[in-house]
């Protein structure tokens, strides 16, 4: 278990009181740090804040005044708080260390960490890695980080015999100093989050923070199909384990024929892995490489690949009903994510999409709409989407008021051998509080259809 009084008497400013902020405050209280909690929102109605005030924690909400920096030793900030805030810039000028919760989690954890990052695929790779290691490792295998599980919470309950599989965003990696994974995984690095980082170079530099403390005793798993990535990781002293979908890399994981291989040994047939799309083959190779590094048997990997159901709301397979395959991709809140989903299928697609109108068009989708048999569009964006779907040559386009109507019409339209794909390419906020609720609504529609089929409603 963790030690108390590690930060006794140290003056710590905690910025942001969402999931990680609450966990950080609770942790630092146990360590007897002197805490100032700061949030730009109104915290007066949060019952937990009243308890903090009674315990002597200073709370400042409604903004970020510079006076907060007086006598502060270091800062722990929510990863989403940008560095261009005046208070953050002033803290940098004063040489006040700024951390994210994953740095505290590393300092606290007795268990080795498998740190996974990338522009695309890191959540699926993280969850699949966790799935492959579960029950095959001698101790517990905990999931943490950017998957919605506060790393500092997990770090307090692990032992030397356990493992933490941690998804790490560029935002989190900007706030580390001593963080040192036993295994680091890079799924890929492309341009992303430039509104936060400012430049592509700054974004890449944030990602590469993951390997700064690694030694020749550690392992670096990386996508060898991205030439730039190999160059960026060249100076890392860890043992390099490449993975590749496009070529044979005998020192790592790759595809040969119709099987996954690791270091010249066949591990599993590709068909054992159920998730569609070439991008998911790369995710599987990365996770498989980690499992082999940790000594998982081929038999176990085959069984675990076969039983992996994917990530909820990310091209999530919902099963086949009357010969029609259903997929929930509610997490696709932009065209980039929907393109990934569209590229995953060779079959005819009955498409469902729409949602919040953010002022953008959908022209990026046009080259990827050739397999669309019919499109059922709903919500604020439906007319804009119709324009670009028409330009792409989609002949059957239907405009509906809401997701329920679009789902029902699409289900009734679809035929055996086709895919019904819900990948909205829009945010959810015109009709739903978040994409999870939206995705659950689509799942409900599919399950209702399944029940009706099982009850014989569609028998002739």
- Reduced to 3 states (helix: H, G, I; strand: E, B; else coil), residue 55 is coil
What is the residue whose two structure tokens read 């039983």? 307
At residue 229, what are phi and psi to the nearest 5 degrees?
-60, -45
Give how far the C-alpha of residue 385 lies from the chain's centroid of Cα atoms, to the nearest Å: 26
Q: Is 119 annotated as a binding residue?
A: yes
Give residues with Cβ within 8 angstroms of 436, minimum separation 6: 312, 313, 330
Query: d(Cα 211, Cα 226) in Å, to the nearest integer?
Result: 17
Q: Are 19 and 80 in contact (CB under 8 A)?
A: no
Query: d(Cα 251, Cα 190) in Å, to the nearest integer?
Result: 24
Q: Is 80 annotated as a binding residue?
A: no
Q: Taking the CA of residue 439 as centre, how many other CA atoms within 13 Å lie in the half-sphere pointing to its CB? A: 23
Query: d(Cα 416, Cα 324) in Å, to the nearest integer?
Result: 5
Q: If phi over 0 gives left and psi between -120 and 50 gives alpha, with beta otherwise, what is residue 32? A: left
Buried b (16+ CB within 10 A) or exposed e, 113-148: bbbbbbbbbbbbbbbbbbbbbbebbeeebbbbbbbe
Among 127, 18, 128, 3, residue whose Cα is nearest residue 77: 18
Query: d(Cα 305, Cα 281) in Å, to the nearest integer?
Result: 11
CA distances from 231 to 183, 248, 283, 361 (A): 19, 19, 21, 36
- Reduced to 3 states (helix: H, G, I; strand: E, B; else coil), residue 71 is coil
Q: Are 336 and 364 in contact (CB under 8 A)?
A: yes
Residue 205 neighbours by CB distance under 10 Å: 15
Q: Is 123 annotated as a binding residue?
A: yes
Q: Is 118 annotated as a binding residue?
A: yes
Q: Taking the CA of residue 427 as centre, how many other CA atoms within 13 Å lie in the half-sphere pointing to its CB? A: 9
Among 310, 163, 230, residue whose Cα is nearest residue 221: 230
The residue count for the chain:
460
Query: d(Cα 134, Cα 388) in Å, to the nearest integer?
Result: 45
Q: Is 121 annotated as a binding residue?
A: yes
Q: Give the strands of the sheet with 219-223, arranged side by side.
A: 141-145, 163-167, 113-117, 183-186, 219-223, 239-244, 253-256, 259-262, 265-269
Q: Which two tokens stand for residue 199?
A: 């430049």
Binding residues for ATP: 118-124
């Amino acid at each position: 278990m963790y030690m108390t009084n590690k930060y006794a008497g140290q003056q710590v400013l905690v910025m942001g009181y969402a999931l990680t902020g609450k966990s950080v405050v609770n942790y630092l209280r146990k360590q007897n740090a002197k805490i100032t909690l700061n949030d730009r929102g109104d915290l007066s109605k949060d019952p937990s804040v009243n308890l903090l005030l009674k315990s002597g924690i200073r709370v400042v909400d409604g903004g970020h005044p510079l006076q907060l920096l007086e006598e502060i030793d270091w800062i722990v900030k929510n990863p989403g708080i940008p560095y261009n805030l005046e208070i953050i810039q002033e803290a940098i000028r004063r040489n006040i260390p700024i951390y994210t919760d994953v740095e505290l989690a590393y300092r606290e954890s007795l268990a080795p960490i498998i740190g996974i990052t990338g522009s695309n695929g890191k959540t699926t790779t993280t969850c699949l890695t966790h799935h492959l290691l579960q029950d095959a490792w001698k101790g517990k295998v905990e999931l943490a980080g950017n998957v919605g599980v506060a790393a500092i919470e997990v770090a307090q309950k692990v032992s030397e015999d356990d493992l933490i599989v941690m998804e790490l965003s560029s935002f989190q990696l900007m706030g580390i100093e001593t963080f040192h994974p036993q295994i680091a995984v890079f799924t890929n690095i492309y341009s992303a989050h430039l509104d936060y980082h400012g430049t592509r170079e700054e974004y890449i530099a944030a990602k590469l923070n993951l390997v700064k403390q690694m030694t020749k005793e550690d392992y670096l798993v990386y996508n060898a199909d991205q030439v730039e990535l190999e160059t960026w990781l060249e100076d890392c002293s860890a043992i390099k384990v490449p993975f590749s979908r496009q070529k044979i890399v005998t020192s790592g994981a790759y595809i040969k024929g119709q099987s996954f291989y690791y270091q010249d040994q066949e591990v599993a047939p590709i068909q054992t892995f159920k998730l569609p799309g070439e991008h998911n083959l790369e995710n599987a190779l990365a996770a498989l490489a980690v499992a082999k590094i940790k000594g998982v048997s081929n038999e176990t990997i085959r069984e675990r690949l076969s039983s992996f159901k994917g990530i909820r709301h990310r091209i999530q397979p919902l099963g086949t009903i009357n010969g029609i395959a259903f997929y929930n991709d509610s997490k696709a809140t932009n065209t980039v994510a929907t393109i990934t989903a569209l590229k995953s299928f060779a079959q005819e697609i009955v498409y469902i999409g729409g949602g919040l109108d953010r002022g953008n068009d959908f022209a990026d989708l046009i080259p990827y709409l050739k397999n669309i048999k019919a499109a059922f569009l709903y919500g604020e964006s439906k007319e804009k989407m119709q324009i670009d779907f028409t330009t792409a040559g989609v002949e059957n386009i239907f405009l509906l008021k809401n997701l329920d109507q679009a789902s029902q019409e699409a289900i009734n339209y679809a035929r055996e051998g086709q895919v019904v794909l819900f990948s909205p390419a829009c945010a959810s906020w015109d009709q739903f509080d978040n994409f999870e609720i939206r995705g659950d609504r689509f799942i409900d529609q599919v399950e209702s259809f399944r029940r009706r089929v099982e009850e014989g409603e569609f028998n002739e």
